[in-house]
């Protein structure tokens, strides 16, 4: 480490919020008291005993007592500082991430995250995990409220066969909030590609379901799984009920063609319908919310809905009546994060205004008064039918306030960049815009 970096690292111990200065002062006080005790003993020895002439030079008696005291004090403080620094490096080295050498910086970031804002993120799928991956660098007071309407893939199979809540979105949130990318995190995301009964399942899904069997319930399984991955924050279901997401479809104009279904049941089936969506709802509709989710919403500093699939990830949480009532009642700042790109089978051709209109039709116009949209439309999107930029277009008299920023992930421009999105939201939460 360079000398300048060493000085900066040493001064970091004195930064506000480190919970170190008070103990350094106590240590200094204790050392001073011990020094005084030793001084009294040495004085008594000095008076009673006669020492050889060499002690005159060893004790620096040829220097004035004032300067002698200052010199010994400075040398003592330097020795204490070096000892504390090296002792902390030795004791805390085992808890640092691979490649991380600055103990003071690690401790400083820990305390900063511990004092970070209380943020509730509502959604599911890739969008929610993208958001969480960025937020965990600023705060560990995060609550992810996840939809339980997923019925596709591995999650759907486990849900139908074992009667458990779908674990897929919970698994993605667990790995996104994990303290560090590790072999355990990769293991949770590993998906079996062969084997009778295992093909298509991810290890994380099976682990969560097995943990639910061991602990007795799904909520406890999430808690214990969070401990395994050293998760920053908590992941909670919006409800514990077995719900089915149903979509009412539009047809050519306003009517469906003869013989076509007016309804599609199942979250995984809705994007496959090939028809625009009029509305979505849950069956049963009046399900109770998970109490922990309500508590987190009411205590939050910031509530974020999205990004993620509008009809199949974000809205299923807000269709739980108590959830939207709690969001409406909360004193937190509330913002909807609009997707960067449209989603095939759900929001094809949607602008920002279309997303907000759909949100308002389902939960009312007063729940999320702020919306964040991407304004960087210069990157190249993949040539996939139905996927295009969500243009930040909205009426001048819109009943919501629109914020725009460059939120695009350079490598995957159809998705948000975790760091950009989290940085913007933290600033919005702490300072406003």
pLDDT of residue 13: 61
If asked whether residues 35 and 140 sit together in one domain, one would say no
- CATH number of the domain at 270, please: 3.40.50.10680
- When comparing pLDDT for 251 and 29, which is higher? 29
Tell me what the mean pLDDT of segment 116-145 comes to: 95
pLDDT of residue 6: 54
If asked whether residues 139 and 30 sit together in one domain, one would say no
Count of domains in the chain?
A: 2
Residue 5 has pLDDT above 70, yes or no: no
pLDDT of residue 295: 97
In whole angstroms, how large is the CA radius of gyration of the chain?
A: 29
pLDDT in tens, 261-313: 688 999 999 988 878 999 999 999 999 999 999 999 999 999 999 999 999 99
What confidence tier does 112 reach under pLDDT thresholds 50, 70, 90? low
If asked whether residues 93 and 142 sit together in one domain, one would say no
What confidence tier does 86 reach under pLDDT thresholds 50, 70, 90? confident
If asked whether residues 72 and 141 sit together in one domain, one would say no
- When comparing pLDDT for 398 and 32, which is higher? 398
Long-range contacts (CB closer than 8 Å, 24 or more residues apart) made by 381-387:
381/341, 381/413, 381/414, 382/414, 384/344, 385/344, 386/342, 386/343, 386/344, 386/345, 386/348, 387/341, 387/342, 387/343, 387/344, 387/414
Domain boundary at 63, 87, 113, which?
113
If asked whether residues 73 and 24 sit together in one domain, one would say yes
Look up residue 385 and give its DSSP letter. Answer: T
If asked whether residues 136 and 101 sit together in one domain, one would say no
Tell me what the mean pLDDT of segment 365-392 comes to: 94
Domain boundary at 113, 136, 161, which?
113
Residue ranges making up the domain that contains 327:
116-148+238-431
For residue 142, is it within any domain? yes
What confidence tier does 10 reach under pLDDT thresholds 50, 70, 90? low
- What SS3 state is found at 139? coil
Tell me what the mean pLDDT of segment 165-191 comes to: 87
Residue 103 has pLDDT above 70, yes or no: no
pLDDT of residue 46: 75
If asked whether residues 24 and 139 sit together in one domain, one would say no
CB of 155 within 8 A of CB of 171?
no
Tell me what the mean pLDDT of segment 53-79 comes to: 81
If asked whether residues 288 and 417 sit together in one domain, one would say yes
If asked whether residues 342 and 370 sit together in one domain, one would say yes
pLDDT of residue 53: 79
pLDDT of residue 69: 80
For residue 136, is it within any domain? yes
For residue 287, is it within any domain? yes
For residue 279, is it within any domain? yes
Bridge partners, 231 (sequence order):
178
| Separation between Cα atoms, residue 250 and residue 211, nearest integer Å | 42
User: How large a percentage of the chain has pLDDT more than 70?
Assistant: 87
For residue 59, is it within any domain? yes
What confidence tier does 2 reach under pLDDT thresholds 50, 70, 90? low
Tell me what the mean pLDDT of segment 154-161 comes to: 90
If asked whether residues 136 and 65 sit together in one domain, one would say no
Residue 45 has pLDDT above 70, yes or no: yes
| Separation between Cα atoms, residue 276 and residue 223, nearest integer Å | 38
What confidence tier does 253 reach under pLDDT thresholds 50, 70, 90? very low
Residue 81: CB partners within 8 Å, gap ≥ 6? 10
| Mean pLDDT of the residues in the chain | 87
Tell me what the mean pLDDT of segment 310-326 comes to: 97
For residue 144, is it within any domain? yes
Helix axes 153-162, 168-176, angle to 10 degrees: 130
pLDDT in tens, 187-210: 888 999 877 778 889 999 999 999
pLDDT of residue 393: 96
User: How large a percentage of the chain has pLDDT more than 90?
Assistant: 56
What confidence tier does 91 reach under pLDDT thresholds 50, 70, 90? low
| Separation between Cα atoms, residue 196 and residue 360, nearest integer Å | 45
If asked whether residues 277 and 362 sit together in one domain, one would say yes
If asked whether residues 266 and 384 sit together in one domain, one would say yes
For residue 256, is it within any domain? yes
For residue 30, is it within any domain? yes
């Amino acid at each position: 480490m360079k000398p300048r970096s060493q000085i900066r690292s040493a001064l970091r111990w004195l930064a506000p919020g480190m919970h170190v200065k008070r103990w350094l002062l106590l240590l200094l006080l204790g050392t001073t008291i011990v020094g005084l005790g030793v001084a009294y003993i040495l004085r008594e020895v000095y008076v009673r005993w006669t020492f050889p002439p060499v002690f005159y030079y060893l004790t620096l008696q040829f220097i004035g007592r004032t300067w002698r005291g200052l010199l010994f004090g400075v040398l003592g403080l330097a020795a204490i500082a070096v000892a504390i620094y090296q002792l902390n490096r030795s004791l805390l080295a085992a808890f640092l991430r691979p490649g991380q050498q600055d103990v003071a910086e690690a401790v400083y970031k820990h305390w900063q995250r511990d004092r970070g804002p209380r943020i509730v993120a509502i959604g599911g799928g890739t969008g929610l995990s993208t958001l969480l991956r960025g937020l965990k660098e600023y705060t560990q007071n995060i609550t992810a409220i996840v939809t339980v309407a997923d019925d596709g893939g591995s999650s759907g199979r486990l849900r139908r066969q074992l009667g458990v809540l779908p674990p897929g979105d919970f698994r993605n949130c667990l790995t996104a909030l994990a303290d560090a990318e590790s072999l355990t995190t990769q293991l949770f995301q590993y998906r079996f590609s062969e084997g009778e009964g295992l093909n298509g399942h991810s290890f994380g899904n099976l682990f969560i379901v097995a943990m639910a069997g061991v602990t007795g319930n799904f909520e406890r399984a999430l808690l214990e799984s969070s401990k395994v991955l050293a998760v920053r924050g908590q992941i909670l279901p919006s409800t514990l009920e077995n719900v089915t997401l149903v979509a009412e479809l539009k047809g050519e104009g306003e009517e469906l063609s003869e013989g076509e279904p007016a309804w599609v049941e199942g979250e995984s089936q809705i994007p496959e319908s090939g028809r625009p969506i009029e509305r979505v709802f849950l069956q049963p509709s009046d399900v109770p919310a998970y109490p922990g989710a309500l508590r987190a919403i009411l205590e939050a500093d910031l509530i974020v809905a999205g990004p993620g699939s509008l009809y199949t990830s974000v809205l299923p949480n807000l269709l739980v009546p108590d959830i939207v009532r709690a969001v409406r009642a909360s004193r937190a700042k509330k913002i909807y994060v609009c997707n960067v790109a449209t989603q095939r089978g759900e929001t094809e051709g949607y602008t920002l205004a279309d997303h907000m209109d759909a949100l308002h039709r389902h939960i009312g116009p007063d729940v999320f008064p702020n919306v964040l949209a991407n304004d960087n439309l210069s990157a190249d999107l993949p040539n996939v039918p139905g996927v295009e930029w969500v243009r930040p277009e909205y009426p001048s008299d819109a009943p919501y306030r629109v914020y725009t920023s460059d939120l695009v992930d350079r490598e995957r421009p159809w998705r948000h960049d975790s760091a950009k999105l989290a940085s913007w939201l933290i600033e919005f939460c702490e300072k406003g815009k």
